[in-house]
Structure 1
Amino acid sequence: MPTNAADRRAELRADCSRCAGLCCVALPFVRSADFAIDKPAGMPCRHLQVDDRCRIHDRLGPEGFPGCEVFDCFGAGQQVVQVTFGGRSWRDGDAVAGPMFAAFDTLRAVHEMRWYLADAGTRALPDDLHRELIEATERLTDLSGGSAAGLGALDVHALRREVGDLLGRVSAAVRAGLDGRALGGQDLAGRDLRREALRGADLRGALLIGADLRRTDLRVADLLGADLRGADLRGTDLADALFVTVPQLTAARGDEATRIPEAVPRPGRWR
């Protein structure tokens, strides 16, 4: 039977109050439209305060850091700090910082995969596929609670391929019979797609930057990895679209008429 997506994904949401500013230190920035500065991995952002809070958090976009606005660690930050390292901080020295940053990088990938698996768990699936999904979910949940050494030994690329294959089969089963268009991986940047029949479409990995998707029907469309930066989703129906994430929606434009999956928090800046 399908499980409750909102319950399964609650622990996969970032809680910065229980982290140590890991995304502001561990990750590199490249000066671009998303970041106003260059910052190498392992160096604290100049806006990170001693209390591990961002000095410009309430004005990231205007200050030139929209990339920070859309970033989501899927709860990996607090998991690494509070569980993997028992409440320690990267500020405790290099012996902690290096392994902590590596664990954060790996666990963010694991938690993102867990987010997709939680979505898949809400769908009506054949029994054998549902059992396989449960096994994968349990395996990744165990990885989340593992040691830094265990996370360091994990082959993330191989795991992504394995989980990606499973999610592809889930998507095919859910969208079966809808005759959705196969647009996965295509460059649709800036395209006016308002007249396209997109219900049940495969848009996995599609480049949809700046695309006009106003009032389109994206129900049961596969949006895993689709780039929605600047896409216009005003009035769009994504109520049961597959594999939607917070960063995707935050990077797009929406309004009060945009329907989104129940388990995905609504971006605060949408009106």
Structure 2
Amino acid sequence: MDELKGDCANCFGLCCVALPFARSADFAATKDAGTPCRNLLADHRCGIHSKLRQSGYSGCTVYDCFGAGQRVSQTVFGGTDWRVAQRQKMFDVFPVVRQLHELLFYLAEAQRLDPHDDLQASYDEVDRLASADPDTILALDVAEIRAKVNVLLARTSERLRSSAKSYRGADLIGARLRNKKLVDADLRGAYLIGADLTGADLSGADVIGADLRGADVSGADLSTCLFLTQPQINSARGNARTKLPAALTRPAHWSQPAKRR
């Protein structure tokens, strides 16, 4: 699924220009939509990429375009730089394609876990729309597309999970779930902000849309979670004992376990 991973070398820094952010714990400064980030270099690369967290830009480390950046830059706008192309249209198209690419990620994951012709057909259709001309993309009803895809994803989830245990959309902010057995649980859209999931077993749990910001997943088993994304992992706190899916990368900022003497 390399085409669903951000490739900054083939993007024009769209996330650093098109999107706004406000000064907060996640961003050291305020930036308006359509205004280049002050850390963006002339070659569209980030000047502080290796030290974003230390520089007060942790929000950037939990963002993922799922490959939408290079799709918009190289396919939809044919490799034309936003500085000379239809600037505003390009900025408007980018977040739409980003949503489509997120759906493609979920569909690809569902197809890998439980192959079905309907999943492949849906993937092909969303993929086609993501490469359409700018006006077609801007006219899309993304909510409708998402609803149709969600039916397929939910069906896949139900087929794969043996448990009826549901925490869908539950408010679990700061919840004490240390060593909790959440095998095959439905955690779709659950608010797990700051939750203690130390040592928890989430094998087979559906975590699509679950908010893991600041959640402690040290020693937790997330290796077979359904629909777990890199941004979710990047927003959580973990360590070397946290079990992750092979396709995801252990965040560099995660703490390491204490050395034995």
Q: Give the TM interval when normalised to the shorter protein.
A: over 0.9
Deviations 1:157-189 (A, max 9, x none): 1111111222112111111x334x211111111
- For structure 1, which segment, 163-172 or 218-227, has the greater mean C-alpha deviation from structure 2 after superposition? 163-172
Deviations 1:9-46 (A, max 9, x none): 22100011111110011001022221122221111111
Q: Does 1:47 align with 2:39?
A: yes
Note if contact 2:190-2:211 (Cα within 8 Å) is conserved in structure 1. yes
Deviation at 1:141, TM superposition (A): 1.6
Q: Does 1:265 align with 2:249?
A: yes
Deviations 1:77-136 (A, max 9, x none): 01111111111111115xx111111221111000000101111112236xxxx2221111
Alignment partner of 1:52: what SS? Answer: coil
**TM-score normalised by length of structure 2:** 0.93
Runs of 4+ with deviation above 4 angstroms: none
Higher relative contact order (CA 8 A, sep 6+): 1
Note if contact 2:21-2:31 (Cα within 8 Å) is conserved in structure 1. yes
Which position in structure 2 is the counterpart of 1:6?
none
Deviation at 1:62, TM superposition (A): 2.0
Equivalent residue letter for 1:159: I
Which position in structure 2 is the counterpart of 1:173?
159
Which whole-Å CA distance do the structure 2 matches of 1:88 and 1:124 have between them?
A: 38
Equivalent residue letter for 1:212: D
Note if contact 2:171-2:192 (Cα within 8 Å) is conserved in structure 1. yes
Structure 2: which 5+ residue stretches go unaligned? 257-261
Of 53, 60, 65, the residue aligned with 1:61 is: 53
Alignment partner of 1:41: what SS? Answer: coil
Note if contact 2:13-2:44 (Cα within 8 Å) is conserved in structure 1. yes
Within a 5 Å distance, the mapping from 1:5-24 to structure 2 comes to 9-24=1-16
Which whole-Å CA distance do the structure 2 matches of 1:74 and 1:150 have between them?
A: 20
Which position in structure 2 is the counterpart of 1:5?
none
Which position in structure 2 is the counterpart of 1:110?
100
Which whole-Å CA distance do the structure 1 matches of 2:248 and 2:52 have between them?
A: 22
Q: Does 1:98 align with 2:84?
A: no
Aligned residues: 255
Which whole-Å CA distance do the structure 1 matches of 2:199 and 2:92 have between them?
A: 42
Within a 5 Å distance, the mapping from 1:174-253 to structure 2 comes to 174-175=160-161, 177-179=162-164, 181-253=165-237
**TM-score normalised by length of structure 1:** 0.90
CA RMSD of aligned residues (A): 1.4
Within a 5 Å distance, the mapping from 1:134-153 to structure 2 comes to 134-153=120-139
Alignment partner of 1:169: what SS? Answer: helix
